[in-house]
Amino acid sequence: MIDVHELTKRYGDRLAVDDLTFRCEPGTVTGFLGPNGAGKSTTLRMLCGLGSPTAGAALVCGVPYRELPHPGRRVGVLLDASAQHGGRTGREVLSLSAAVLRLDAGRVDDLLDEVGLADSAGRRVRSYSLGMRQRLGIAHALLGDPEVLILDEPANGLDPEGIWWMRRLVRSHADRGGTVLLSSHLLGEVDRVADRLVIVARGRIVAQGTRNELGPDDLEALFLRVTA
C-alpha cells in the first residue's frame, strides 16, 4: 500500500510538488505520468525517504519509509540505475545488499538469472550498458522479495525483449497481491500494464483514475490534453 496525502515539496521559491493526494492499493499497478519537471521523481524520492516533505505525508506500508524496520524486505526501489558503484561487479552489488538483508546467497544467483545478467555477473558495473545497469537495478529492487515496488523509468535502456519482460514482471507482481507505482514517459507501455493512472503537471494532479474513468481518449491524447 502507498498513501500520498496532501504531499508538498518546495525548493526555495519553487513548488516542485503541490498538494498531491493518491493511493496505490495492493494488487494494482499505478502508472505515474507527467511531463519533464512535473514532480514525479521528487514524489518518488520522498516515498523512498530520500527527501523530506515540506508538508503532507508519503507513506509506504502505512508509515514513512524511514520508519520501516526492514525497508528492503517491504519496498523495492529503482530510482537511478546508474547509482551503483562502477568498480563493483554485478554479483558484488547484489551480494552486499543480500548480506544486509540476511538473504541466502542462492537468491543472488536466481535473480542474476532472472534479469538476464548471469553471464555478466563477474564484470564491473562501469562496463555495463545502460540496459544492463537497468537490469541490475531491477534485480536489486526485487532482492528482498518486497510487497511494494517503486520504479522510476524502469524500461529506460531496455531492449524490446527486456521491455516485454519488465511488463510481465510488473503485472505478475501486482497479480500476486503486490503494489506497484511506476513512473514512465512510455505512454503505450504504461497503458498496457497499469490499472490506474495518476497524471501530474507543474506539481499538481491533473487527472487520476482507471482508464475507463478517464474517458475514451487514447492515452497520448488524454495526456496532452490534461497536461497542456
Of the candidate residues 18, 31, 33, 41, the single one contacting ligand ATP (CB under 6 A): 41
* Minimum CB distance to ligand ATP smaller for 149 or for 200: 200
Q: Are 19 and 176 in contact (CB under 8 A)?
A: no
Q: How far is the CB of 157 from ligand ATP (least distance, A)?
A: 15
Does the protein bind ligand ATP through residue 42 (CB under 6 A)?
yes
Choose one: 29-37, 106-114, 158-166, 170-178; the region binding ligand ATP (CB under 6 A): 29-37
Q: How far is the CB of 72 from ligand ATP (least distance, A)?
A: 24
Q: How far is the CB of 112 from ligand ATP (least distance, A)?
A: 28
* Minimum CB distance to ligand ATP smaller for 120 or for 183: 183
Pairing state between β 179-183 and 28-33: parallel
Of the candidate residues 18, 28, 29, 39, the single one contacting ligand ATP (CB under 6 A): 39
Radius of gyration of the CA atoms of the chain, in A: 17
Of the candidate residues 20, 29, 38, 158, the single one contacting ligand ATP (CB under 6 A): 38
* Minimum CB distance to ligand ATP smaller for 20 or for 111: 20
* Minimum CB distance to ligand ATP smaller for 19 or for 110: 19
Does the protein bind ligand ATP through residue 72 (CB under 6 A)?
no
Of the candidate residues 31, 40, 141, 148, the single one contacting ligand ATP (CB under 6 A): 40
* CA 155, chain centre distance (Å): 10
Distance CA 37, CA 202 (A): 7
* Minimum CB distance to ligand ATP smaller for 39 or for 162: 39
Output the nine-digit C-alpha cell for 44: 518518488
Distance CA 107, CA 3 (A): 30
Of the candidate residues 4, 7, 34, 222, the single one contacting ligand ATP (CB under 6 A): 34
Distance CA 79, CA 157 (A): 14
Output the nine-digit C-alpha cell for 174: 501486482
- 38 exposure class (CB count in 10 Å sphere: 0-12, 13-18, 19+): buried
Distance CA 200, CA 81 (A): 23
Q: Could you give the C-alpha distances from 208 to 2, 79, 141, 211, in angstroms and in order?
A: 15, 22, 26, 9
Residues that bind ligand ATP (CB under 6 A): 11, 14, 16, 34, 36-42
